[in-house]
Amino acid sequence: MAYNAAEYIVRTKSLVKEFTLGGETLRALNGVQVDIRRGEYISIMGPSGSGKSTFFNMIGGLDKPTEGSVFIDDVDMAQLDASELAWLRCRRIGYIFQSFNLIPVMTALENVTLPMIFAGTPTDDGIEKGIQLLTKVGLAHRLHHKPSELSGGQQQRVAIARSFANDPAIILADEPTGNLDTTTGEEIIELLRLLNKEKGVTVISATHDLKMLDVSDRIVWIRDGKVDRIENRSDITIDVGRMQGED
């Protein structure tokens, strides 16, 4: 199969990660190879301890592999110096975390415009764009509230707006619905799906949530530090049940 450079936005090669804990070496990742296409919505699934989070941290540049390489846009992450890596995180990747990770002393608008400050966007343009993004996620009326004044779902929506601040090519979502109730989680999933379709942004999520799998294009199953299988959404059947009285 001919390899088209423009097609793959993230590629990993023989990724290995070892942790030394209390004198013992733990091999969290044992040779992982995944190619992610531009504009794709891909979910990484796996039980606890499978290496899913470790793998996720590798492709997001949040941690460094012991062996192997991660290529983002055909650029080897290990070759990047600190300022190039920072540029990548500022301009090309947006992060969404399970625990939201908003800056507690800043308002929603200030949180969303912070990455724009780093990118050198003029203040007024930044504020305007920040308001647009927050309106898009449904928080136009909560611009000047601090995270402590927002519900979990609202905080996650601020985090999503923030991740889009500098028009990234990739969104990395680590268990985005982990700390949210079912209904709010569904809203977040729908929001990410919409943004993926509208903006053509590649969404990579690590998740346990079957409803997230439902909207993915492909699913990577990780088990014991290795890729178990990669499936297209169309190849699998997902039955998500509802409990009576859940709403």
Partner 1 sequence: MTTAANVAGIQRQIKLPLTKAFEISFKSIKNRFWRTMITAIGILLGIAFLVSVISSSYFARAAAFSYGPLSPQWIAYKKQLDLGQIQTREAWLVALALLVSTIGILNSMLMSVAERYREIGTMKCLGALDAFIIKLFIIEALMTGIIASVLGGLLGFILIFLSYLGQQGTAWLHFANFGDLFKWIGISIISGSFLALIASAWPAALAAKMPPVDAFRVEV
Residues in contact with partner 1 by CB under 8 A are: 57, 62-64, 72-73, 75, 79-80, 82-84, 86-92, 95, 97, 101-106, 110, 114-115, 117-120, 146, 162, 166
| CA–CA separation, 33 and 12 (whole Å) | 5
Beta bridge partners of 220: 44, 230
The letter for the amino acid at 233 is: R
Give min distance, CB of 105 to partner 1, in A. Answer: 4
- Beta-strand runs (E) in the chain: 8-21, 24-32, 35-37, 41-45, 67-72, 75-76, 93-96, 170-174, 202-206, 218-223, 226-232
87 or 221, CB closer to partner 1? Answer: 87
Angle at the Cα of 174 (from 233 to 20), degrees rounded to 5?
Answer: 115
Give min distance, CB of 134 to partner 1, in A. Answer: 16
Give min distance, CB of 79 to partner 1, in A. Answer: 7
Give min distance, CB of 6 to partner 1, in A. Answer: 13
Count other Cβ atoms within 10 Å, centred on residue 245: 5
Q: Which SS3 state, helix, strand or coil, does residue 28 take? A: strand
Give min distance, CB of 20 to partner 1, in A. Answer: 13
41 or 97, CB closer to partner 1? Answer: 97
114 or 230, CB closer to partner 1? Answer: 114
Count other Cβ atoms within 10 Å, centred on residue 83: 8
Phi-psi region of 74 (alpha: psi -120 to 50; beta: other; left: phi over 0): left
60 or 185, CB closer to partner 1? Answer: 60
123 or 135, CB closer to partner 1? Answer: 123
99 or 183, CB closer to partner 1? Answer: 99
Give min distance, CB of 110 to partner 1, in A. Answer: 8
Contacts of 160 (CB under 8 A, 6+ apart): 96, 137, 176, 188, 191, 192, 195
Give min distance, CB of 78 to partner 1, in A. Answer: 12
| CA–CA separation, 204 and 58 (whole Å) | 12
Dihedral sign (CA 56, 60, 61, 67): positive
